[in-house]
Structure 1
Amino acid sequence: MEREAREMVEMLRAILASIDEGIHAVDRDGITIYYNDAVARLDGLDPQEVIGKHILEVFPSLNNGTSTLLKVIETGERIPDLPQMYTNYRGYKVHTVNTTLPIVSGGKVIGALEVAKDLTRLKELNEKLIDLQAQVVGVEKKALGKKKSPIEARWTFDEILTQDRSMLLLKELGARAATTSSPVLVFGETGTGKELFVQSIHNASPRRHKPFIAQNCAALPASLLEGLLFGTVKGSFTGAENRPGLFELADGGTLFLDEINSMPLELQAKLLRVLQEGIVRRVGDTKVIEVDVRVLAATNQNPLLAIEQGHLRSDLYYRLNVVSLHLPSLSERPDDIRLLVRHFIDKFNRKFGLQVLDVSPEVFDRFHAYGWPGNVRELEHAVEGAMNLADGPYLRMEHLPWHIREGHFAAKAEGGITLPHGVRPLREVLDNVESALIEQAMRETGGNIQQAAKLLKVPRQTLQYRLQKGQKKEQD
């Protein structure tokens, strides 16, 4: 029994040592009893420098009031998802989001355990971005007679290429909506051109000489996203400083919130208040600031389905959905494929110094048969990849990505799932569908495994295993 208990303890230690999140545990006196390699890398310390020492000895910038571990020992209550900044005794500044839990035995608190996610680099990049945007906005406001905002949208409706009737109508509706300041909700599959439409609306509006700021709501955890949008005041949480949020920086202009359905529901309620009242309150502040910002939002999920699944508040939807634009998938506008292919060939001829004339008839037929789950963006990448391999004036079948060349995901089923032509082994089809979904989730989250796992509703470790398996398969 004693041997089994020791083996169980060693197994638990091995599990805690292998995960990416930092794990820090202290006893009831605040002495560190466990400190895994992940948190050691995060803090810039060696575990032997921490284990057996009091937490305030190792992290002198903390005290009994600011240390979440000591606070949980005192109160016995968990503290979820708290942003924190502290300096270790080597002078290294660390930004994390921590969840701290009491360790209870026999009805008594005997210690505390903290799970820390490293956001140091992400926080630094976001602060640099906000500072840069604040400087640029300040310069723009001082520059008399300036005709273009330095924080600008690039695209216009003239640059959205289409001969499809539904897309032409959407361009017309978008141009009409641009003349007002009402919110607009754009939804469509990944790669259909949602941001192109949003930028075009801004550039056709009276706000076109003012800032255009875009933020992906799935790119940041809730604790950071709130401060980024609404701003922070010094002391609102450990390490917080006085910083304007994106609403303040976009004052007079446009704020684009992409993947609005990924915004936590509690933040959606705060966003609704800004839309209704035109005021923001920085995190930790008591004062409100008036802002004049047009909000444009986008989602890659049908908003009614997002409401049904609890991802989008119905009251926020009704406030954003003053004007609604539903962008069709590329498979719903097949007449645009020829136009877009020629455009992308011209684009990459200029970029790569090539003289490709067109695609072969076989390639054009395959493009029309393919389901394009990644839509226009996937078509662009397919043409770019083919032109990297081109050895003559025409793009041929052997230049295409293997999944398009082999006819995977060629025909679209009624439920919206793309299927290959002809009967193939079930395992092969399932593997291909899985790979395509993982690729799409990683693309939508900018390579963030944690966020991609949430989209796919699988454990992060499962997604990591699938990614490693896919990489090994490609190497073989």
Structure 2
Amino acid sequence: MDCAKGNPLCQRLYAALFDVLEEGIHVLDAQGRTLVYNQKMADIESLDRDEVASSTLSELFSFPAREGSTLLHALTTGTALHHVRQTYFNRFGKSITTVNDTLPIVAHGKLLGAIEIARPVASTPDKINEAKLKGAAHYHFDDIVGNSRSITHVVEQAKRACRTRSSVLIVGETGTGKELIAQSLHNASDRSGGPFVSQNCAALPESLMEGMLFGTMRGAFTGALDRPGLLETADGGTFLLDELNSLGVPLQAKLLRFLEDRVVQRIGANKGRVVDVRILATVNEDPEALMASHQLRKDLYFRLGVVILRIPPLRERREDIPLLVPPFIARYNRLYHLRVRSVSAEVMDLFHQHEWPGNVRELEHLIEGAMNLIGDEEIIGVEHLPPHLQSRLPSLPVLQHEESHQTAVHPLPLLNTSTLRDTPFQEQVKNFQRTLIHSALARQKGNVSAAAKDLQLSRQNLQYYLRHL
């Protein structure tokens, strides 16, 4: 049977074969049109197959702005993605999470399309695979936002470190983007085609962590199975130990032995196996302090810290805040179907004054929270921020939602200095504020916007004072 010429019988045969598979299959041609969409994929995405065949991906799904569609990535770049976990939404708002292998279809040097093989996360219970897939390297150096000297210096150092297999220790407070740097290191190295495996050392008790890292042999202990550890799983690629300071000291000693000979010996095994894996690690505290408190072995620190990258906290690169805000707004516009354009000048001022104990992650969560509270406005205002940030505005009570129409200007009484002695302090402050506002309005001939600019207030804040003083 010749299937090369579009034989209808072959097409029906292929369709029948695709429909008995346990994985979802979606194939696009070079123009992004759907060629194959099997029943399993329709079940995963809760869509009608005929609807998919007549629609574009952008009409059917919304994807997080930074990650995007793995299928479109393979189609537009011609590069394959393996074991990538993806969360996205169908047009009805249903959240879908799959693990994908996505490949470009190339013939005679020409890109003909792309195929995606998807498995719903619920059908991937194996903890080793889950750990591997959670650590799939999505990020590249281009995803790191900022022009400050401190962050550009770190990025340049990290790019140079991509050239070798030396271990790298990434130091930074919680929320600074340590894993983003780690994934970028992997994707820019000659190991980018291999696995990227990540394990948070604080996520599991120490009794389970050794088996997760080094693997087990059947019978080694009750319930033990023949199972490779994460270090074996990462063979040929990169392994990230996140929050290394949460790893118990005895396990740190075993990890040190592995770093010296690169031999993995499963629990219960008589011999080990040499693996080729690059080790990255992160700590969220000062390494010197961790060693002083015996949370980090000195010999492990010196062995891992061949290259040490220090990620600056957000308070040390405040000039990057205006660059970080727009991508977060774009992400949550897409997720929540909003049309927010920016933040107000007052909000940006607060952002520049804030200490950011949670760093970039805290900034993202503040933006997300504000976009949950915003109405039809296109600008995030102070009133959309948490109370602890609103209270930082000087001499301004916590704001409520303001009407957008212009407030009529009424004459405000001038300060009567002869009565100050018998006037309570708060009333004196209000009288002084009335005087300042009256003077500004008089100078600007009753123009509220001009008076607000004169007083270095937003028009909205001036309207608030006009109504409440």
Please indicate, yes or no, whether the TM-score normalized by the shorter chain is above 0.5. yes
The one-letter code of the counterpart of 1:354 is L
In structure 2, the partner of 1:178 is: 162
State how 1:380-459 maps to structure 2 within 5 Å: 380-391=364-375, 392-407=377-392
| C-alpha distance in 2 between matches for 1:398 and 1:233 | 58
State how 1:184-203 maps to structure 2 within 5 Å: 184-203=168-187
In structure 2, the partner of 1:261 is: 245
The one-letter code of the counterpart of 1:220 is L
Deviation by residue 1:378-404 (Cα, 9 ceiling, x = unmatched): 000000110111120111111112222
1:270 aligned counterpart, secondary structure: helix
| C-alpha distance in 2 between matches for 1:320 and 1:177 | 13
Deviation by residue 1:397-450 (Cα, 9 ceiling, x = unmatched): 111122222239xxxxxxxxxxxxxxxxxxxxxxxxxxxxxxxxxxxxxxxxxx
In structure 2, the partner of 1:334 is: 318
The runs of 5 or more residues in structure 2 that have no matched partner are 1-121, 394-469
State how 1:246-395 maps to structure 2 within 5 Å: 246-391=230-375, 392-395=377-380
| C-alpha distance in 1 between matches for 2:213 and 2:123 | 15
Q: Is the 8 A contact 2:332 2:368 kept in 1?
A: yes
The runs of 5 or more residues in structure 1 that have no matched partner are 1-123, 137-149, 409-476
| C-alpha distance in 2 between matches for 1:131 and 1:207 | 19
In structure 1, the partner of 2:127 is: 129
| C-alpha distance in 2 between matches for 1:152 and 1:191 | 19
Q: Is the 8 A contact 1:187 1:327 kept in 2?
A: yes
1:213 aligned counterpart, secondary structure: strand
| C-alpha distance in 1 between matches for 2:301 and 2:129 | 31
Deviation at 1:223, TM superposition (A): 1.1
Deviation at 1:337, TM superposition (A): 0.7
The one-letter code of the counterpart of 2:126 is K
- Using a 3 Å threshold, how does the CA distance of structure 1 residues 230 and 331 change in structure 2: closer, same or farther? same
| C-alpha distance in 2 between matches for 1:132 and 1:367 | 37
The one-letter code of the counterpart of 1:128 is D
| C-alpha distance in 2 between matches for 1:376 and 1:131 | 29
**Alignment: residue pair count:** 271
- Using a 3 Å threshold, how does the CA distance of structure 1 residues 126 and 308 change in structure 2: closer, same or farther? farther
In structure 1, the partner of 2:225 is: 241
The one-letter code of the counterpart of 1:306 is L
The one-letter code of the counterpart of 1:398 is E
Aligned alpha-carbon RMSD (Å): 2.1
Q: Is the 8 A contact 1:151 1:211 kept in 2?
A: no
Q: Is the 8 A contact 2:252 2:297 kept in 1?
A: yes
Q: Where in structure 1 do 4 or more consecutive aligned residues deviate above 6 Å?
A: 124-127
In structure 2, the partner of 1:91 is: none
- Using a 3 Å threshold, how does the CA distance of structure 1 residues 229 and 348 change in structure 2: closer, same or farther? same
In structure 2, the partner of 1:26 is: none
Deviation by residue 1:139-182 (Cα, 9 ceiling, x = unmatched): xxxxxxxxxxx973000001100011111011011011011100
Percent same amino acid among aligned pairs? 52
| C-alpha distance in 2 between matches for 1:329 and 1:226 | 32
| C-alpha distance in 1 between matches for 2:388 and 2:276 | 47
Q: Which has the larger radius of gyration?
A: 2
In structure 2, the partner of 1:22 is: none
In structure 2, the partner of 1:86 is: none
Deviation at 1:193, TM superposition (A): 0.2
Is 1:167 matched with 2:151? yes
In structure 2, the partner of 1:460 is: none
1:162 aligned counterpart, secondary structure: coil
| C-alpha distance in 2 between matches for 1:242 and 1:361 | 59
